[in-house]
């Protein structure tokens, strides 16, 4: 019996084959039947081997082909480029000419793709020039590839130059521009290009919409995002898992978690990325508990968390001080996944925000590759723990590497100086930032400097600095100035700062307390009454303060006057006993931190029931003598609680660490590491 095998059927089999032995059999059959060596059969074989990762076999086919058409060369370049072997891909491309094979449109496209993968702008531009020389300058495939090269290398100006000159543009060219602009932080320009595209009556598909959704995400334009979503539904544009995931991401990043969850729930097909998008949305918006619950849910649906979703878990852990879970996630990533730059930075941040600065440092010292963000994270870690000198020393080490400090590095460094009271160092490095690094100071940088100068009593200099600002100073700056004025009795400047603070109407009751205290210190009772009036009007709607503490691997959260806790009675007994001992040692409740019109005794009781106080008492009840307590608070620690915690640390002979929204307070033996200025 004679077996008839057609070239076409073998090629179809090749595309469908899922393992090397099958391909090898078809390969053998091709040789036996004489198909091998004709047409582009060798190219198909090369691609099939490469698809399954057998690059050596692919190369053997290439080397043993009796004649190699341009398809075989292209296939081999794709094979190398897909494996990240850029050098081999490029050398093949260079060899083609010497072997008398003329590159075609595909060759330029795949070589440009290879250059894009390795971000090799120089080779890419050279390839593009050669493509133009050979008459492929108007080819939309080559054009889209060069636009993508520029976009991925962050050269959108260059991309725009090429795009403007293009004789023909297909949908992919438009999309590459829109996506490229959106991903390079030029979201407005992305929208402009889309408008141009509409004018030319080019219909957008899901991928174009995805670029626009990303633009909405960065611009924070949820309204526009919503209208794009509606447009896709009306126009029946297919929303695949990628487009749906970016919708989830867009809604979540813009704070619309219900909408994000709603899109997510309606997704028929989900993947780990869509879960991660939702989880990170909750974590980034401060809903640590929901984020953690979602990770449990995703596992029950059979999805295994990857390093991206676990980074969000770490973020949630750092928010609430969940050291135990953070530690186990760290271990899991190290053992099972890739512990590269992003997860290691998240781990550093988690340890430092959970109070373990030394663990953060150990991880930082062990990682082999440190990028800008890892340096920023470790510098910030020392800053929030009040170690300005160590932050500076790390900054010096960073300057010895190739990594260039950015605005965030200086924000962390200056904040470290302000938390450590290093005024001259702050001034010096602020001027270095502006003059040497040409970084335009932002609101955060100014706030650090104003804080630094004001706490040293140099409020006039602080005011001069504020006057030199080009942008309108925000609340953080006026609050910093006001604190200094209050502490140093500078009433004239302070009054102006207080008025500014009230105009800006902050959300934080602690800030109203500061303003009220300032006026009380200046004996300006009318203004004190005015602040109370504002508080009464808006104050009751403020974010409720809560404190979180981990005991035996479980998190316990406390709200102010929280009676729901099963140990509430015991907690109140502990607090009562402590109150008695504290008063005997000279503690006087700072009732000015309660701004309601209440009797003194009631105010005192309210102070006593602040969430951080409840958490401390709970910690004392449930941990052994001498154990360090770590409490995480969502707002700034209250001034009276700060005073009380100092006394408590001495009475119970414990180290009490409180992390508030700004920094760490290490209370030990009646003293706080912040030096009573925060």
Partner DNA sequence: TAGCCTCACC
Q: Which of residues 439-468 bind DNA (CB under 7 A)?
A: 444
261 near DNA, rule: CB under 7 A: no
Tally of CB atoms within 10 A around 353: 27
Closer of 414 and 515 to DNA (Cβ):
414
Candidate ranges 40-48, 130-138, 272-280, 498-506; the one touching DNA (CB under 7 A): 272-280
Minimum CB separation of residue 599 from DNA in Å reads: 41
Q: Which of 70, 226, 308, 651 binds DNA (CB under 7 A)?
A: 308
Structure tokens at 517: 């205290």
Strand, helix or coil for residue 69: coil
242 near DNA, rule: CB under 7 A: yes
Q: Which of 42, 48, 81, 175 binds DNA (CB under 7 A)?
A: 175
Residues 6+ apart with CB under 8 A from 453: 423, 459, 461, 462, 465, 484
Candidate ranges 207-215, 419-427, 481-489, 577-585; the one touching DNA (CB under 7 A): 207-215
Minimum CB separation of residue 520 from DNA in Å reads: 31
Closer of 410 and 587 to DNA (Cβ):
410
Distance between CA atoms of residues 327 and 350, nearest Å:
9
Closer of 23 and 310 to DNA (Cβ):
310
243 near DNA, rule: CB under 7 A: yes
CB 386 within 8 A of CB 420: yes
246 near DNA, rule: CB under 7 A: yes
Distance between CA atoms of residues 465 and 451, nearest Å:
11
Q: Which of 253, 458, 486, 613 binds DNA (CB under 7 A)?
A: 253
3-state DSSP helix/strand/coil % of the chain, to nearest 5: 70, 5, 30
Minimum CB separation of residue 271 from DNA in Å reads: 6
Strand partners, 556: 549
| Contact letters for DNA, residues 354-383 (x by CB under 7 A) | -----------------xxxx-xx--x---
Distances 424 to 256, 477, 481 between C-alpha atoms, Å: 44, 19, 18
Closer of 47 and 90 to DNA (Cβ):
47
Q: Name which of 438, 391, 399 is nearest 415 in CA terms.
A: 391
Candidate ranges 16-24, 173-181, 514-522, 555-563; the one touching DNA (CB under 7 A): 173-181
Closer of 261 and 517 to DNA (Cβ):
261
* Dihedral sign, Cα of residue 167, residue 173, residue 176, residue 178: positive
Closer of 208 and 637 to DNA (Cβ):
208
Q: Can you state the angle between helices 407-420 and 372-384, rounded to 10 degrees?
A: 10
Q: Which of 81, 127, 261, 280 binds DNA (CB under 7 A)?
A: 280
Closer of 180 and 509 to DNA (Cβ):
180
Distances 571 to 200, 566, 587, 617 between C-alpha atoms, Å: 70, 10, 20, 6
Closer of 179 and 609 to DNA (Cβ):
179
Furthest CA-CA distance within the chain: 111
CB 248 within 8 A of CB 278: yes
Distance between CA atoms of residues 86 and 122, nearest Å:
13
Distance between CA atoms of residues 340 and 308, nearest Å:
11
48 near DNA, rule: CB under 7 A: no
Strand, helix or coil for residue 618: helix
Closer of 415 and 517 to DNA (Cβ):
415
Distance between CA atoms of residues 147 and 169, nearest Å:
11
Q: Which of residues 287-306 bind DNA (CB under 7 A)?
A: 306
Q: Which of 274, 387, 609, 611 binds DNA (CB under 7 A)?
A: 274
Q: Which of 240, 600, 601, 676 binds DNA (CB under 7 A)?
A: 240
Distance between CA atoms of residues 146 and 144, nearest Å:
6
Structure tokens at 137: 């300058």
Minimum CB separation of residue 193 from DNA in Å reads: 13
315 near DNA, rule: CB under 7 A: yes
* Dihedral sign, Cα of residue 72, residue 78, residue 84, residue 90: positive
35 near DNA, rule: CB under 7 A: no
Distance between CA atoms of residues 80 and 89, nearest Å:
5
Q: Which of residues 61-120 bind DNA (CB under 7 A)?
A: 105-106, 109, 113
Q: Which of 170, 192, 203, 436 binds DNA (CB under 7 A)?
A: 170
Closer of 172 and 515 to DNA (Cβ):
172
Minimum CB separation of residue 122 from DNA in Å reads: 20
Q: Which of 222, 345, 420, 427 binds DNA (CB under 7 A)?
A: 345
Minimum CB separation of residue 416 from DNA in Å reads: 10
- CA torsion, points 357, 358, 359, 360, in degrees to nearest 10? 50
Tally of CB atoms within 10 A around 137: 17
158 near DNA, rule: CB under 7 A: no
259 near DNA, rule: CB under 7 A: no
Strand partners, 554: 551
Distance between CA atoms of residues 640 and 239, nearest Å:
54
How many residues belong to the site for DNA (CB under 7 A)?
Answer: 67
Minimum CB separation of residue 495 from DNA in Å reads: 29
Strands 629-633 and 656-659: parallel
Footprint of DNA (CB under 7 A):
105-106, 109, 113, 140-141, 144, 148, 152, 170-172, 175-176, 179, 183, 205-208, 210, 214, 240-243, 245-246, 249, 253, 271-274, 276-277, 280, 284, 306-309, 311-312, 315, 318, 341-343, 345-346, 349, 371-374, 376-377, 380, 384, 407-409, 411-412, 415, 444
């Amino acid at each position: 019996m004679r077996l008839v095998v057609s070239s076409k059927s073998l090629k179809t089999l090749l595309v469908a084959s899922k393992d090397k032995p099958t391909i090898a059999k078809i390969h053998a059959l091709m040789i036996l039947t004489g198909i091998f060596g004709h047409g582009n059969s060798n190219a198909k074989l090369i691609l099939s081997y490469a698809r399954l990762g057998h690059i050596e076999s692919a190369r053997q086919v290439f080397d043993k082909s009796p004649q190699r058409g341009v398809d075989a060369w292209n296939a081999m370049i794709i094979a190398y480029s897909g494996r990240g072997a850029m050098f081999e891909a490029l050398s093949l491309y260079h060899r083609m000419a010497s072997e008398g094979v003329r590159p075609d449109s595909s060759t330029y496209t795949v070589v440009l793709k290879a250059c894009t993968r390795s971000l090799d702008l120089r080779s890419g531009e050279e390839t593009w020039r050669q493509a133009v020389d050979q008459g492929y300058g108007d080819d939309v495939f080559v054009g889209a590839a060069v636009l993508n090269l520029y976009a991925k290398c962050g050269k959108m100006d260059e991309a725009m130059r090429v795009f403007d000159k293009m004789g023909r543009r297909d949908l992919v060219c438009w999309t590459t521009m829109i996506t490229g602009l959106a991903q390079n932080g030029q979201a407005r320009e992305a929208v402009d290009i889309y408008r141009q595209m509409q004018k030319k009556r080019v219909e957008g598909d899901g991928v174009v919409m995805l670029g626009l959704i990303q633009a909405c995400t960065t611009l924070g334009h949820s309204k526009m995002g919503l209208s794009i979503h509606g447009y896709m539904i009306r126009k029946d544009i297919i929303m695949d898992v990628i487009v749906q995931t970016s919708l989830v991401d867009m809604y979540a990043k813009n704070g619309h978690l219900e909408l994000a969850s709603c899109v997510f729930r309606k997704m028929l097909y989900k993947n780990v990325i869509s879960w991660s998008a939702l989880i990170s949305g909750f974590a980034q918006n401060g809903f640590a508990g929901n984020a953690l619950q979602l990770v449990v849910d995703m596992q029950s649906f059979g999805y295994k968390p990857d390093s991206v979703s676990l980074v969000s878990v770490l973020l949630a852990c750092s928010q609430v001080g969940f050291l135990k879970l953070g530690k186990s996630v760290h271990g899991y990533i190290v053992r099972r996944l890739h512990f590269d730059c992003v997860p290691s930075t998240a781990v550093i941040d988690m340890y430092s925000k959970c109070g373990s600065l030394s663990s953060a440092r150990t991880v930082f010292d062990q990682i082999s590759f440190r990028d800008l963000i890892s340096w920023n994270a470790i510098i910030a870690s020392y800053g929030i723990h009040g170690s300005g000198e160590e932050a500076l020393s790390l900054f010096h080490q960073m300057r010895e590497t190739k990594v260039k400090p950015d605005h965030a590095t200086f924000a962390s460094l200056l904040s470290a100086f302000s938390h450590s009271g290093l005024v001259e160092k702050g001034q010096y490095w602020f001027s270095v930032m502006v003059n040497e690094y040409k970084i335009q100071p932002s609101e955060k940088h100014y706030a650090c400097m104003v804080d630094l100068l004001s706490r040293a009593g140099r409020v006039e200099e602080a005011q001069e600095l504020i006057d030199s600002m080009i942008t309108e100073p925000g609340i953080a700056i006026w609050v910093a100035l006001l604190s200094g004025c209050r502490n140093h009795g500078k009433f004239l400047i302070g009054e102006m700062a207080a008025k500014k603070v009230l105009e800006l109407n902050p959300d934080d009751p602690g800030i109203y307390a500061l303003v009220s205290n300032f006026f009380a210190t200046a004996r300006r009772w009318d203004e004190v009454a005015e602040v109370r009036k504002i508080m009464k009007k808006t104050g009751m709607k403020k974010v409720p303060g809560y404190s979180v503490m981990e005991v035996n691997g479980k998190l316990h959260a406390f709200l102010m006057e929280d009676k729901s806790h099963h140990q509430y009675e015991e907690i109140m007994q502990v607090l009562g006993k402590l109150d008695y001992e504290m008063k005997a040692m000279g503690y006087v409740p700072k009732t000015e931190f309660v701004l309601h019109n209440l009797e003194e005794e009631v105010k005192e009781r309210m102070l006593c029931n602040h969430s951080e106080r409840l958490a401390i008492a709970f910690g004392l009840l449930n941990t052994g003598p001498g154990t360090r307590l770590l409490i995480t608070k969502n707002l700034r620690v209250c001034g009276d609680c700060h005073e009380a915690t100092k006394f408590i640390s001495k009475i119970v002979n414990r180290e009490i660490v409180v992390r508030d929204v700004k920094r760490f307070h290490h209370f030990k033996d009646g003293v706080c590491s912040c030096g009573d200025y925060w």
